[in-house]
Structure 1
């Protein structure tokens, strides 16, 4: 009887981890739980190592006077984060196409990954832009790392009367996304925008369910459910690996912060959008790996551009992240997930 209970428990654990993108090995090595530790060997690269880094993320070039925030490494509680190897990454994905889909936080992670890869191999690269698609390629490896800006994942339709409608039940771009070998999705940052920053006038769910507004977390969950149904119905996850970036947190005030929050817990507790995201991911039958970045990022209010982003003091940025910085750890988690068991 005890043996059958143990088997049932193991099956239950596997089922949960499968649906949120984990494996049984994650039980003994939960990479997203831990704390930031000072490491004088960091960062993994400098902004001068990355000649194509965008101005809004290059805090040192923008005049940030302190550098201690660059010297912190993520330390999981019960194991070590695997060392990132750009050469191994590019050899593994030779001839493949990798796509980031999301808002400017996807851009932040995309820029981080291209910097980490370039620092590792110093190979020739090309950068192109075709419509809304940014393409970073290493010709010697025939690898392309692309970014498609799509703040909501679901469709926004421009109507004849000039209004935009956010379609919570429509995801037409999916037919293009599924042609890639690895896709890293992200959405959250734009869901709370109002006024001039809100890019839609109406929100629709179903043919006759149109509103000027609705609870934003509820809308977010409906959109994620549409995305989840698309994954289950349309994606061949044997050929295409699916990841979700997780929710990157804002901080209300980050100016003058120079050190991480100490310890393993964030005083503000769980992020409500992350709770919604994890609930949706548990419903997906196909394997989707969550890059659980929220807690580790919450602890780094010191790593935002603040007054050293694109807008300076007039555009205080406590949303995006300096590079080098926190998104490098997101990509270490991506690397660990991609090479797990290999």
Structure 2
């Protein structure tokens, strides 16, 4: 029986990786290519689907804190940290995007063949890959809401009608608390991918009204609360909402992913932050996790918002299907997420907790002009000599590259018994669910206000203020009804993702 154990870590500075700038670094996000890695997603392998310009791979993310240089992903060091461990990644298609890129990065250094199997207490089979040399397993779970949910009829796509029990953890990932050493979650897009009439929300067996932001907040509270009360001893990471770049969202031409060829400039980044209708997701997610320090936040919202050029766009391999401005090319943006995960694991999650890994301001930089970047970091001891050597070499290379670069934009106790698989009918689950914050009620999340202030260096500092009514435990204004009356935005936030084999769900392909 597999028993989760803490990941070996080293001491280091507490770093805010959410705040920083995109710096040009030739070939940085190109440790593999779309042609060299067969594991890249079919609809996210832009190179294989005909793309010929790969300039979006030539940028690295440089945190604003000089002592917090973000070391480039090192497969040997990463796998040394996870020797003999099980990593479970659950969520929507952004988790698929991340999982595929991570596998490509790992397989570029050592074989990472397919793996399929079960774990103690789990009724479903899981799919993923293993790394025989290190005895590690990585599994992917298609679980877009992260809570107990079931589609009506045979379709389980993002556009189907779903019954969602916001206060019950999903039976897809919950059993893995007995076996997984590292958990990585992401969600949000599926709350926004169909009209509210197709998202039938329940709490304690009763229908409730909540907009997409509040629904995301309540579901995330359920996840964090369940893990905390389970006395889980492994590490938990949450990847924040990944913003989309459809031109209509910005109400101006040329700012969608179809025409973008570089990161946003100073003025574009300023405009995008002010116009983004998805920023309330970030506010809601961080508010939900604030009382739960066990969850370490990988805040990717701001860095991703500045990169319209790195989306799949028309290169999804589906003729006449329009531009995919939700998902990201592989290699590309997801490789930077791997950098974040690697650095957090190595430092013991120095940015841990909802407020740690990215609560600062966005400081996009102007495209014109050159400046050197101080990318020195405090020395960190590694968990093994090979890890130390690899990381040192990588950091040195990254530092020299960035200094000449141009800035363009800113022993575990068993957990409680997991929930039973969802019933086949669309009626809500019984009310004897695990308790969560905010049982007395909920407020609808309002859109965040955004303040833009200029710093003395003429860079723009963009701060997102927390929106009213998304504080954890907020309990005013609970409404009941047969279904939610809000209308969500149509999107492609779940396009092309492929689910795991699950005994309780349809075997049809996820979108």
Q: TM-score, normalised by structure 2?
A: 0.56
- How many residues were matched structurally? 309
Larger helix fraction of residues: 1
Distance 1:44 1:125 in 2: 15
Distance 1:199 1:339 in 2: 44
Q: Say whether 1:254 aligns with 2:257.
A: yes
Q: Say whether 1:56 aligns with 2:59.
A: no
2:149 aligns with: 156
Distance 1:263 1:176, change over 3 A: farther
1:171 aligns with: 169
Offset at residue 214 of structure 1 (A) = 3.5
Distance 2:125 2:58 in 1: 35
2:300 aligns with: 293
Distance 1:158 1:58, change over 3 A: closer
What is the DSSP-based 3-state SS (H/G/I as helix, E as strand, rest coil) of the residue aligned with 2:50? coil
2:389 aligns with: none
Q: Say whether 1:224 aligns with 2:231.
A: no
Distance 1:141 1:199, change over 3 A: farther
Q: Say whether 1:306 aligns with 2:309.
A: no
Distance 1:71 1:61 in 2: 18
Match for residue 45 of structure 1 among 10, 26, 32: 32
Q: Say whether 1:77 aligns with 2:92.
A: no
Alignment of 1:143-292 (within 5 A): 143-157=136-150, 164-173=162-171, 174-178=173-177, 179-194=179-194, 202-207=200-205, 209-211=206-208, 214-237=210-233, 240-252=234-246, 253-263=256-266, 266-269=270-273, 271-284=279-292, 286-292=293-299
Q: 1:33-56 deviations in whole A, cap 9, x for unaligned?
A: 111111123223222231222211
Distance 1:274 1:220 in 2: 10
Distance 1:38 1:190, change over 3 A: same
Distance 1:258 1:288, change over 3 A: same
Q: Give runs of ≥4 in structure 1 deviating > 3 Å.
A: 128-133, 157-160, 198-201, 263-266
Distance 1:45 1:199 in 2: 43
Distance 1:266 1:111, change over 3 A: farther
Distance 1:52 1:159 in 2: 32
Distance 1:260 1:300 in 2: 5
Instruction: Please say if residues 35 and 263 of structure 1, whose CA atoms lie closer than 8 Å, have aligned partners that are also in contact.
Output: no
Instruction: Please say if residues 41 and 97 of structure 2, whose CA atoms lie closer than 8 Å, have aligned partners that are also in contact.
Output: no
Offset at residue 111 of structure 1 (A) = 0.8
What is the DSSP-based 3-state SS (H/G/I as helix, E as strand, rest coil) of the residue aligned with 1:256? coil
Structure 1 stretches of 5 or more lacking a match? Answer: 1-22
Offset at residue 110 of structure 1 (A) = 0.6
Distance 2:270 2:307 in 1: 10
Q: TM-score, normalised by structure 1?
A: 0.83
Distance 1:292 1:48 in 2: 30
Distance 1:294 1:159, change over 3 A: closer
Instruction: Please say if residues 166 and 200 of structure 1, whose CA atoms lie closer than 8 Å, have aligned partners that are also in contact.
Output: no
Distance 1:136 1:199, change over 3 A: farther
Instruction: Please say if residues 66 and 258 of structure 1, whose CA atoms lie closer than 8 Å, have aligned partners that are also in contact.
Output: no
Distance 2:72 2:25 in 1: 14
Distance 2:343 2:331 in 1: 19
Instruction: Please say if residues 228 and 294 of structure 2, whose CA atoms lie closer than 8 Å, have aligned partners that are also in contact.
Output: no
Distance 1:328 1:63 in 2: 20
Offset at residue 304 of structure 1 (A) = 0.6
Q: Which has the larger radius of gyration?
A: 2
Distance 1:188 1:268 in 2: 20
Distance 1:291 1:136, change over 3 A: same
Alignment of 1:316-335 (within 5 A): 316-335=323-342
Distance 1:201 1:276, change over 3 A: closer
What is the DSSP-based 3-state SS (H/G/I as helix, E as strand, rest coil) of the residue aligned with 2:167? coil
Distance 2:258 2:41 in 1: 21
